[in-house]
A and B are shown apart, each in its own frame.
Chain A
């Protein structure tokens, strides 16, 4: 009996020790690209853009969160959560599929997500997503890192949001795009883990979306001075 137990134990330890010849570990990470305060007289906003990922070379699960909270109204103008699966389709690009759930202080929305994510020539990090529902939205995001020094980095960014059908409660008119342009100057304080930054953020709404905002007496464009920190670990 004791012999058998020892034998089982020996087999078990052998199995634990039998590691593969190479150790491809699980890939995981948390990247808070923006965690910032956007200042504009009387209409300050607290915002973040973050993602957590886990997976392998072949399949990654990415959780994304984007939010904009109006300080004065104590209200989330935007609160968007995406659960995305990423699969490589080329050297530099992944195909994306998932769901997006919007839960701001306003109407909730649920979308399916199909898109691509990757690195375009000349080092542009690109996301192109189609958010599928009866009120679909197309979104293109691009970002570039210009190295002033190897630690002082200027990151211009562009977001182009195009509603394909009207969604009046959410302030979206058909084909009335919202454009966000930013430039953030960051300094890598600790490795690439902690990088405080300052910058500007500009957003403007066009077309029917702008008309809706005008009717409701909301502003169609805004410029913010921003200060925040990028976290990556």
Chain B
């Protein structure tokens, strides 16, 4: 080949390369002013923090592929920050003061610049002190580049928050002084008499003694009561209303921006088709009701055909308050507002005290290509890799002593096997054997939330709650309640492969001192979690507390192990119910300094928080882990 022809070829290639570049790159510029605002919950008004003069702040609408520039001006007298919750971006843009950047000083403007590499529903909020519980949040809606696998005629953001008359720092102080300061649903002396009538005095006394021994209460479901749920900034009476034309498909982008409150959401009279969770499309699931953990998002599509109003009803998990909004053909139309259901009570299963509660039982990590087998009492052999949703409640209801033969031949008997660790007989990737009461031998590796109800047990509940848990959700109309087990990715984000390493994170706490921690160590005393670029880490979360913790990883996705293999859903927040073990995996593909924490505002600040450092990475992607980049404009 001559030099001339080589040069010609080179220039042709160069021209082709230029032609392949997008003709125009979207670049949007946005401004957020962090302001003191008035939060009006209807029942009370207070000073809070918002953006551009309001709480919630404006809905930021981005386009996938756009390069955004966001100028954030701090009009407060204290430092602030903005975290883009769920967005994949360079770590210097993540907005965690002291980790990603130094924060934004009073009077300063910080300019965030990052490309939008995803689509869906997300949100933003302050990551400084208690500004988020005080109102510093807003929604993000990202329009996808391509076509979405579902159709809708209009869409609304439905952002839930839990406005409280007390400021965040005061709430934290009260909880530290008296952890049940805000719990006004505790069992009373009269409840004891009622229970005595119902279950007999001996049983009622035994129950009180069992809880008293632990110095815990079954009513401890919401650390923080006394809030008013707001939907898009409006209380139940102000009644935010979204309009529709009968027959239209309406996409509702639910975002739970609450500091502390989970909600059970339903729209009486309408089925909801869940199409997206945490910004990622899922295979559509039709449900009557779903639970939204703090910081999660769910997009649902509803199709109201009648010319009437429908109530969006969001009951808090502890049933202490509800949020209410309306979908209506005309402004001013309303529908009935249902009564709240009875508050749930935690059970010994939620304490991890009851044997037989094996949801999320640890038999070790699942191993691809190695099908576990289960021999059932009737001699049936079960085989297959996916047993998600199984329930062991059969062999040992709390009040019924059970026998358990361990691999080493030890026979365990009794109702209370507190803190039993099944991991002993099932190291990751090593099949384990489990001898069932009937002498049945179970063998296999993945038994996450198995349902053995086939052999004479209560109906299977949600595998992501301890069997017998007081928190197991039930739809108000007896219909379908969404479970994590129903979530299947629409299009896998990552190639399905074995994890290269497992990291065990026990969720721990001291309720009485209101100290929350991971592996018994609070953030202030903890070393960062160190990850290496390119690995796939399997996080094993064991919830040893009685509270439900929404765990949130910054910068990288959490692939929730529901037993669906490559269809496992991809999320940014995964709720870990009490008394359960939940596995999630992360493809470590974002170098830099990140954080992993419980998204309950006061748990996070009380120490259930870890710094995460991702080392290594390709030359261009590897992060400078030295001084965080800083860009400040006056």
Query: Which A residues have a C-beta under 8 Å from some C-beta of B?
Result: 10, 13-14, 16-25, 27-29, 31, 53, 57, 88, 91-92, 119, 121-123, 146-151, 154, 191-192, 232
- State A91–B513 Cα separation when bound (angstroms): 8
B62 at the binding interface (Cβ < 8 Å): no
In the assembled complex, which residues on chain A have CB atoms less than 8 Å from the CB atom of B185? 150
Q: Which of A24, A28, A29 contacts B605 (CB 8 A)?
A: A24
B195-239 vs A, CB cutoff 8 Å, 1 = contact: the mask equals: 000000000000001001101000000000000000000000000
In the assembled complex, which residues on chain B have CB atoms less than 8 Å from the CB atom of A25? 169, 172-173, 605
In the assembled complex, which residues on chain B have CB atoms less than 8 Å from the CB atom of A148? 188-190
B98 at the binding interface (Cβ < 8 Å): yes
- State A25–B177 Cα separation when bound (angstroms): 12
B105 at the binding interface (Cβ < 8 Å): yes
Size range of the chain B interface in the assembly: 35 or more
CB distance from B23 to the nearest CB of A (A): 40
Interface pair A22/B103, CB less than 8 Å apart: no
Contact A147:B129 (CB < 8 A) given known A18-B98, A21-B97, A24-B606: no
Interface pair B605/A22, CB less than 8 Å apart: yes
Q: Which of B97, B108, B128, B173 contacts A29 (CB 8 A)?
A: B173
Q: Closest residue of chain B to A122, judged by CB?
A: B212
Q: Which of A17, A21, A119, A192 contacts B99 (CB 8 A)?
A: A21
- State A10–B632 Cα separation when bound (angstroms): 10
Query: Which of A20, A22, A53 has the most B CB atoms < 10 Å from its CB?
Result: A22
Contact A24:B177 (CB < 8 A) given known A13-B105, A148-B190: no
B492 at the binding interface (Cβ < 8 Å): no
Enumerate the 4 nearest inter-chain pairs by beta-carbon distance, A residue then B residue, closest first: A17-B105, A122-B212, A17-B103, A18-B102
In the assembled complex, which residues on chain A have CB atoms less than 8 Å from the CB atom of B605? 22-25
- State A20–B524 Cα separation when bound (angstroms): 9
In the assembled complex, which residues on chain B have CB atoms less than 8 Å from the CB atom of A232? 177-178
In the assembled complex, which residues on chain A have CB atoms less than 8 Å from the CB atom of B99? 21
In the assembled complex, which residues on chain A have CB atoms less than 8 Å from the CB atom of B348? none
Q: Which of B96, B98, B177, B611 contacts A27 (CB 8 A)?
A: B177
Q: Which of A17, A27, A92, A154 contacts B512 (CB 8 A)?
A: A92
B279 at the binding interface (Cβ < 8 Å): no
B430 at the binding interface (Cβ < 8 Å): no
Q: Closest residue of chain A to B523, judged by CB?
A: A22
- State A97–B364 Cα separation when bound (angstroms): 47
Q: Closest residue of chain A to B208, judged by CB?
A: A122
Contact A91:B510 (CB < 8 A) given known A21-B611, A149-B188: yes
Q: Closest residue of chain B to A20, judged by CB?
A: B98
B574 at the binding interface (Cβ < 8 Å): no
CB distance from A193 to the nearest CB of B (A): 10
B533 at the binding interface (Cβ < 8 Å): no
- State A149–B523 Cα separation when bound (angstroms): 37
Contact A88:B513 (CB < 8 A) given known A13-B108, A25-B172, A25-B173: yes
Interface pair B105/A21, CB less than 8 Å apart: no
Interface pair A18/B103, CB less than 8 Å apart: yes
CB distance from B107 to the nearest CB of A (A): 8
Q: Closest residue of chain A to B166, judged by CB?
A: A191
- State A23–B524 Cα separation when bound (angstroms): 10
- State A123–B169 Cα separation when bound (angstroms): 27
Could you write out 10 A-B pairs with CB less than 8 Å apart?
A18-B97, A22-B597, A24-B606, A25-B172, A27-B173, A57-B522, A91-B510, A149-B190, A154-B189, A192-B181
CB distance from A96 to the nearest CB of B (A): 15
Interface pair B510/A147, CB less than 8 Å apart: no
- State A88–B524 Cα separation when bound (angstroms): 17
Q: Closest residue of chain B to A93, judged by CB?
A: B512
CB distance from A83 to the nearest CB of B (A): 19
- State A99–B496 Cα separation when bound (angstroms): 64
Interface pair B129/A17, CB less than 8 Å apart: no
Q: Which of A10, A23, A191 contacts B129 (CB 8 A)?
A: A23
In the assembled complex, which residues on chain B have CB atoms less than 8 Å from the CB atom of A150? 184-186, 188
In the assembled complex, which residues on chain B have CB atoms less than 8 Å from the CB atom of A147? 186-189
